[in-house]
Amino acid sequence: MLTTPTFSEVADEFFNGYKLRLPDPAVFADYAIDHLKRLVGSKMLVDFNEAAVIKYQNDRLDEGTAPKTINEEVGFLLRILVEPGDIIRARLRKRKMLKLKVRKTIGKAYSDEEKGRMLQEARMARSPHIYFALTLALNAGMRDAEIKTLTWAQINFAKKFLAVGRSKTEGGEAAPSR
């Protein structure tokens, strides 16, 4: 007897192949697919249509997720669905409902005065690590995760440089480690 697989079953199979072909970007794929499975994992593949995708988008928006992230997740959803996903993609694109609008502006840089106030507050924090972490963030442009995972091996005192480990590129993809 043939049974229609659930989205979770097909998503797991998709992800196993995906991480074999693209191991570095598989971190975001794992994150995206986990959210997809959480919200639509029990659905049968035959139950997917434009309304299901729009409901997914709305559910993720209700959770406070950024539109760019939701767009990426929907991209995975439609790739996992294969041919039905192509049809849904075309129909949503025609209705201009495939992608959520993303913010076009880039974050504002802190003024020297704002940086000074933050550093002053950080010096008074209970943890001495706050000041050093903020100094790295402001002067080296390091992200939170990059600072938290920093190791002594990444610091070259003789040449006076710090090598950032796994980072993100401008496009939001993980860059290869150096």
CA 124 – CA 145 distance, rounded (Å): 23
Per DSSP, 119 falls in state: H
How much of the chain, in percent, has pLDDT values that exceed 70? Answer: 89
- Give the tens place of pLDDT for each residue, 117-145: 999 999 998 888 899 899 888 888 888 88
Q: Is the pLDDT of residue 40 over 80?
A: yes
* Residue 100: CB atoms within 10 Å: 17
- Per-domain residue ranges of the chain: 7-94
List the Cα angle 1/49/46 in 5-degree steps.
0
Per mean pLDDT, which range of 90-94, 104-108, 155-159 is the poorest?
104-108
Taking the model in full, what pTM does it have?
0.61
Per-residue b or e along 107-123, where b marks 16 or more CB atoms closer than 10 Å to that residue's CB: eeeeeeeeeeebeeebe
